[in-house]
Amino acid sequence: MRNTEKNYNKLLAHMAENIKEARMKKKLRQSDMIEFGFSERFVQKLESGIYSPNLYTIHRIAEAFDTTVDKLFKANAALK
């Protein structure tokens, strides 16, 4: 695996972990994300790190969790 691909996979993993953490801090279930326009299955894909959303979707996720896009990608991010 090339270094670029490894770095991309790490980035997706950080994002998946941070999305799950942010959702849990808000005491939301995956099914509760429908109120923000995301299906339960979509959230499952995001949190597993197998789906790479587009920038607009990442922006919407950040807004739903009252955080910033950059924090969704950071390792061990301290999300609001």
pLDDT in tens, 33-50: 999 999 999 999 999 998
Confidence of residue 22 (pLDDT cuts 50, 70, 90): very high
pLDDT at 77: 56
**The two structure tokens encoding residue 1:** 């695996």
Asked whether the predicted pLDDT for residue 55 surpasses 70, the reply is: yes
pLDDT value for 75 = 78
Q: Is residue 44 part of a domain?
A: yes
Q: How many domains does the chain have?
A: 1
How far, in Å, CA of 20 to CA of 3, rounded? 26
- For the segment 12-37, the average pLDDT, to the nearest whole number, is 95
Instruction: Outline where DSSP puts E strands in the chain.
Output: none
Q: Is residue 79 part of a domain?
A: no
Does residue 26 have a pLDDT over 70?
yes
Q: What is the largest CA-CA distance in the chain?
A: 39
Q: At 10, which CATH number?
A: 1.10.260.40
CA 65 from centroid of its chain's CA atoms: 10
CA–CA gap between residue 48 and residue 15 (Å, rounded): 10
Q: Which domain holds residue 17?
A: 3-73
